[in-house]
Amino acid sequence: MNFELFIARRIHFSKNKGEKRASAPAIKIAIAGVAIGLAAMIIALAVVIGFKKEVRGKVVGFGSHIQVTNLQNSSAYETLPVCVDAQLFDALRKIDNIKHVQVFSTKPGIIKTDSAFQGVVLKGVGQDYDWDFFKQNLIEGSIVNPADTVNINQAILSKDIANKLGLKTGDNFICYFIGDNNVRMRKFYISGIYRTNFEDYDNLFVITDIDLIRKLNNWEEDEVSGIELLVTDYDKLDEIQADVFQKMIYHQDRKENRLLARSIKDVNPMIFSWLDLLDTHKPPLSKGRRWYWRRDTRRGIFTRFCTVAAWPWRPSPLRWGCASSILNNSSTKSSTIPPTGGANTFLRRRTSLSVRRVAAESTRSVCVRAGSLYLL
């Protein structure tokens, strides 16, 4: 017999004389209370999930799911270039769950009018750019059209910036770029205005043509700040990012620059850590792998962390790997940490914990994964 039905019959539906039953009003009040409480929980959960999805969509719209940039970048927007070619694009498109590949370049600047000024980041995009996000949030004008020879140096900016500076569609503005020894200026034409209601980015980004950013940075035709990747399934983002990282970390462009692949979670850790606090339906340990990069500018080293979480009922060993001067042999591509360790290598194992964490540090860039160490 159904347990809930059995309890209900004993409390309310029993017809045996002499048995104590709850009054009809009390039963109705209890039912109404449970229904209202359940409805409130469903509405609250729907609001939280919708809020997370909306914020995540706006962050991804400005920065894509995965960014492949120069490994030596020390600034978020004043970047070092990487050289791209058809072979690199083909390699990225062949990775599973990659939906779209596009290039971008960034350049910080200051927009100044007669009455105000605003610090911005110009993001240059090419012909391969996916405009779906900005088309959905465009409220005036049109997107950037590099083929337009009448209105050159087109740009779209946010409604917030336009209101602060007193600008509108069809106006021109002057943007100043501060270099090492000089200050340059360019005149831009406002082709459109967007509004995403995400103030942190609305007050920052101005979208323009990538060729203009190349000229401002004195870059060659195949040099860009990085490559953006859009994925088909956000739930598999960590797994896809790990695959891209493994394929890109050994790649060198024609100027021998190394490439680093980071997910949008790594680019904006504070935003996504905040969103994770709202995740009430996720188990405390989820199955999957998460990669982290940390750069110590004072010591001039890179540290690569990999965390792998397994389900609580499927314990896996804990492995710590640390490496030092033994990694200085540049001819070595990979080496496996020996189980017994050595003078410059330390490894320990535990078998009763459900979380594996692997970390490594070196005077050179390294990648450590489940006990195997890869030199970059």
Tokens representing 292 are 């982290």
**Domain annotation covers residue 1:** no
Question: Mean pLDDT, to the nearest integer, of 331-343?
Answer: 35
Tokens representing 64 are 């894509």
Nearest to 318 by CA among 307, 327, 329: 307
The Cα–Cα gap between 69 and 292 comes to 15
pLDDT at 150: 74
Q: Which of 277, 307, 341 is the last residue of a domain?
A: 277
**Domain annotation covers residue 237:** yes
**Domain annotation covers residue 15:** no
120 or 298: which leads in pLDDT: 120
Annotate 148-172 with b (16+ C-beta within 10 A) or e (fewer): eeeeebbbbbbbbbbebbebebeee
pLDDT at 83: 94
**Domain annotation covers residue 321:** yes
Tokens representing 328 are 């200085």
Summarised one tens digit per residue, pLDDT across range 173-219 is 999 998 878 889 999 999 999 999 998 899 999 999 999 999 998 99
Query: Please, which residues bridge with residue 346 across strands?
Result: 322
Residue 299 and residue 256 in one domain: no
Instruction: Assess contact for 293 and 304: CB atoms under 8 A.
Output: yes
Summarised one tens digit per residue, pLDDT across range 227-236 is 999 999 998 9
Residue 330 and residue 192 in one domain: no
Residue 85 and residue 131 in one domain: yes
The Cα–Cα gap between 189 and 143 comes to 12
pLDDT at 180: 75
* pLDDT score of 335 more than 70: no
Owning domain of residue 72:
24-277
Summarised one tens digit per residue, pLDDT across range 122-155 is 999 998 999 999 999 999 999 998 777 777 889 9
Residue 135 and residue 261 in one domain: yes
What is the average pLDDT score of the chain?
Answer: 75
* pLDDT score of 22 more than 50: yes
* pLDDT score of 309 more than 60: no
* pLDDT score of 279 more than 50: yes
The Cα–Cα gap between 35 and 42 comes to 11
The Cα–Cα gap between 319 and 339 comes to 10
* pLDDT score of 108 more than 50: yes
Residue 156 and residue 181 in one domain: yes
State which H helix or E strand residue 258 sits in: none
- Give the other-Cβ count within 10 Å of 268's Cβ: 20
Burial class (CB in 10 A: 0-12, 13-18, 19+), 126: middle
* 15 pLDDT tier (thresholds 50, 70, 90): low
- Report the C-alpha dihedral over residues 110, 76, 286, 320, rounded to 10 degrees: -160
Residue 155 and residue 255 in one domain: yes
pLDDT at 13: 60
Residue linked to tokens 């799911």 = 65
pLDDT at 18: 57
Tokens representing 322 are 């640390």
Q: Which of 259, 277, 295 is the last residue of a domain?
A: 277
β-bridge pairing 259-263 and 172-178: unpaired
pLDDT at 48: 87
**Domain annotation covers residue 125:** yes
**Domain annotation covers residue 329:** yes
Residue 176 and residue 232 in one domain: yes
* pLDDT score of 356 more than 50: no
**Domain annotation covers residue 19:** no
Residue 208 and residue 291 in one domain: no
**Domain annotation covers residue 2:** no
Residue 288 and residue 307 in one domain: yes
User: Which residues, 6+ apart, have CB-to-CB distance to 179 below 8 Å?
Assistant: none
What letter does residue 313 receive in the DSSP assignment?
A: T
Q: In Å, what is the CA distance from 166 to each residue of 114, 159, 169, 172?
A: 10, 10, 11, 11
Residue 198 and residue 328 in one domain: no
Summarised one tens digit per residue, pLDDT across range 40-57 is 999 988 898 888 899 999
Residue 217 and residue 354 in one domain: no
pTM of structure: 0.68
Q: Which of 258, 277, 296 is the last residue of a domain?
A: 277
Residue 218 and residue 294 in one domain: no
When divided into structural domains, the chain yields a total of 2
Question: What residue ranges in the chain does DSSP mark as E strands?
Answer: 66-70, 82-83, 98-112, 117-125, 138-141, 154-158, 172-178, 183-194, 205-209, 223-224, 226-231, 259-263, 288-296, 301-309, 318-323, 334-336, 345-350, 355-361, 366-369, 372-375
Of 18-27, 36-45, 80-89, give the lowest mean pLDDT range. Answer: 18-27
